[in-house]
Structure 1
Amino acid sequence: MRILIALAAALTVAGAAPAQAAAPSALAAPDISVTNVKAHLTQFQSIANANGGNRAHGRPGYLASVNWVKSKLDAAGFTTRVHSFTYGGATGYNLIADYPGGDANNVVMLGGHLDSVPAGPGINDNGTGSASILEVALQMKATGFRPAKHVRFGWWGAEERGLIGSAAYVNSLSSAEKSKIKTYLNFDMTGSPNPGYFVYDAVKGEFPAGSLALQQRLEADFKARNIPTELIDVGNRSDHRAFMAAGIPVGGTFTGAEKIKTAAQAAKWGGTAGQAFDRCYHRSCDTTSNINDTALDRNADVIASTLWAVAA
């Protein structure tokens, strides 16, 4: 993530059941293995280690990350394509992966940025979101999930340079193609070492119509796991921005970055008050040691249960 400056029965998510109508267990969403997610993070760390210590836009570690994620999805039967763009004199890449089947006129999309800053490997920011949606995608195939809606994933390039890749992708779509995307869910930093459990605030964020139902769906899935949440106004801070600007309903989760955890938040969530949610934010120490396994696991499970509900 780069630095920039209650449930209602009538609400539905692009035709999905009301948020309060189904707990995750009733939706048969899989329990996402945090071991598998961490294995993906280890791969991202290895790629960074072999490529100058980072996975940044325009650097070899980023393209190696794209190629590795693509190989996993290709093997699982996804239809993948690499969408390229140019920024800062370098070619950047988005990876787009479509799950077979579902209503092509009713698309649910999940995404997160795959690049790091040049200073480090970017394992929490944003290996965690990238690895989590990868494992959720792989579990779609493993469990034989056949959603009524079409499901698409995006791994974005050059987020750390100004949300460039996601904007390039959305701007490349025709008006007709944009109108088919009914939901976009963004996952950027889901395993912060001193974590909070934040859900994007659809009201303060002034998100498009339909976003409130996504907020409530995510809140409900955390509540079903007895995890208290707080709403956060993420503003234009991550890759949901381009979808939001296109009028597409958006939502997402976040475990915190450079801001300081308060005493009240530590009492609610554990961890250390007076310390940043992620002390290694945008630093070389954002490695596989800079992860809270519990937060990573909980967020991956919420991603899966939300997808199973929204895309059903």
Structure 2
Amino acid sequence: MKLSVPVTVPVTGRAAVAVAVAVATLFTTGSIAGAAPAAEPVAAAAPDLPVAGVKAHLTQFQSIAAANGGNRAHGRAGYTASLNYVKGKLDAAGFTTTVQSFTSGGRTGYNLIADWPGGDTDQVLMAGSHLDSVSSGPGINDNGTGSAAVLEAALAVSRAGYQPTKHLRFAWWGAEELGLVGSRYYVNNLSAAGRARISGYLNFDMIGSPNPGYFVYDDDPTIEQTFKDYFAGIGVATEIETEGDGRSDHAPFKSAGVPVGGLFTGASRTKTAAQAAKWGGTSGQAFDRCYHSSCDTTSNINDTALDRNGDALAYAVWELSE
């Protein structure tokens, strides 16, 4: 996995055609005809999200859980420590972070919102994941994987000094495991105008399952096609996500009329023989045998799935924010 560094971006699509015409004119006439105005800037290519960086965050989440009763659940010290870890990385990278508090089950919970300076604040692209685990385990696949990949994508934005047309906002939700409490609180506390300004919300929940499938949400056609394009480009077949439909943090956004999409690698459902033939892995076993269990540790991750989904996440953020 190569590290994400600034590189010269290959020119593709309409821009490639324009360059080819200009070069042909230069070689035949010695100048570019008519001294035409400069071409529109070529859109920046999404970085290859370093899976080693994503896994480093997972190691931190595992250590946090181990030091705090074995979990990172809502209202527990492990959740607060997880939030502080993510916030520290974002603050150091130049994000404007906001901690939003709410109450559920007699305990205080927190959402973490991170805004990247710049972009049109009337067009906000959000990417998010739930940061809490269940109380029975450290929650490394569910949902350390989504949280770590969203964090690494945000850090990639900072490393690239990326300045897209749209405003970028990243979010880590509390108390998802208690019924989407944190994300629903956030959406319900937006004004009508604030909701209307969100052009899309991308959700990442369980993207490194040990016996993975490659599932894409079908809620919004544009977002769905963006993810499908990425996976088609690397030769990986996808299926429409149904197991978690409406059961993760995209649901409150969708109910509020925000276009949503996301990725998922499967939970307690069983992988079929057809799916194993398509994706590898073991048929007749759950996508994640450690779902909501104490064995959902850093050993419960498929690196290839985590790598592919992390790169798809970055691709979608870059593509949909232009």
Same fold (TM over 0.5): yes
2:273 corresponds to which of 263, 268, 271: 263
Compute the displacement of 1:144 (Å): 1.6
Matched, 1:299 2:321: no
Matched, 1:169 2:178: no
Compute the displacement of 1:145 (Å): 1.1
1:103·1:149 contact (CA, 8 Å) conserved in 2?
yes
- Looking at structure 2, the residues matched to 93 and 240 of structure 1 have their Cα atoms a distance apart, in angstroms, of 17
Q: Which amino acid aligns with 2:118?
A: G
1:222 corresponds to which of 231, 236, 246: 231
1:232 maps to 241
Compute the displacement of 1:21 (Å): 8.9
- Looking at structure 1, the residues matched to 310 and 317 of structure 2 have their Cα atoms a distance apart, in angstroms, of 11
Q: Give the 3 Å change call, closer, same or farther, for CA 21–249 of structure 1 in structure 2.
A: farther
1:182 maps to 199
Matched, 1:284 2:301: no
Q: Which amino acid aligns with 2:278?
A: K
Compute the displacement of 1:27 (Å): 4.6
- Looking at structure 2, the residues matched to 100 and 21 of structure 1 have their Cα atoms a distance apart, in angstroms, of 29
Matched, 1:84 2:101: yes
1:192·1:292 contact (CA, 8 Å) conserved in 2?
yes
Compute the displacement of 1:235 (Å): 2.5
1:27·1:305 contact (CA, 8 Å) conserved in 2?
no
- Looking at structure 2, the residues matched to 160 and 21 of structure 1 have their Cα atoms a distance apart, in angstroms, of 45
1:212 corresponds to which of 213, 217, 221: 221
Compute the displacement of 1:40 (Å): 0.2
1:152 maps to 169
Residues 239-292 of structure 1: CA distance to partner in whole angstroms, max 9, x if unpaired?
001100100000000000000000000000000000000000000000000000
1:111·1:186 contact (CA, 8 Å) conserved in 2?
yes
Percent of aligned pairs sharing the same letter: 66
Task: Give the 5 Å matches for 1:104-143.
Answer: 104-143=121-160
- Looking at structure 2, the residues matched to 201 and 212 of structure 1 have their Cα atoms a distance apart, in angstroms, of 7
- Looking at structure 2, the residues matched to 21 and 153 of structure 1 have their Cα atoms a distance apart, in angstroms, of 31
- Looking at structure 1, the residues matched to 245 and 89 of structure 2 have their Cα atoms a distance apart, in angstroms, of 32
**Max radius of gyration: which structure?**
2
Residues 189-246 of structure 1: CA distance to partner in whole angstroms, max 9, x if unpaired?
00000000000122xxxxxxxx111111111111111111001234311000110010
2:321 maps to 311
- Looking at structure 1, the residues matched to 218 and 192 of structure 2 have their Cα atoms a distance apart, in angstroms, of 26
- Looking at structure 2, the residues matched to 269 and 235 of structure 1 have their Cα atoms a distance apart, in angstroms, of 21
- Looking at structure 2, the residues matched to 27 and 119 of structure 1 have their Cα atoms a distance apart, in angstroms, of 42
> What SS is found at the alignment partner of 1:69?
helix
**Ranges of 4+ aligned residues in structure 1 off by more than 2 Å:** none
Residues 168-208 of structure 1: CA distance to partner in whole angstroms, max 9, x if unpaired?
00111111111100100000000000000000122xxxxxx
Residues 15-60 of structure 1: CA distance to partner in whole angstroms, max 9, x if unpaired?
xxxxx999xx975111011001000000000000000000000110
1:54 maps to 71
- Looking at structure 1, the residues matched to 232 and 161 of structure 2 have their Cα atoms a distance apart, in angstroms, of 26
TM-score (norm 2): 0.86
1:54·1:61 contact (CA, 8 Å) conserved in 2?
yes
Task: Give the 5 Å matches for 1:88-107.
Answer: 88-107=105-124
Query: Unpaired runs of 5+ in structure 2?
Result: 1-12, 16-41
Query: Unpaired runs of 5+ in structure 1?
Result: 1-19, 203-210
1:195 maps to 212
- Looking at structure 1, the residues matched to 14 and 146 of structure 2 have their Cα atoms a distance apart, in angstroms, of 27
> What SS is found at the alignment partner of 2:170?
strand
1:194·1:277 contact (CA, 8 Å) conserved in 2?
yes
Compute the displacement of 1:104 (Å): 0.3
Q: Which deviates more from structure 2 when the two are superposed, residues 185-194 or residues 27-36?
A: 27-36
Query: Which structure is richer in relative contact order (CA contacts within 8 A, separation 6 or more)?
Result: 1
Residues 35-89 of structure 1: CA distance to partner in whole angstroms, max 9, x if unpaired?
0100000000000000000000011000110011000000000000100000000
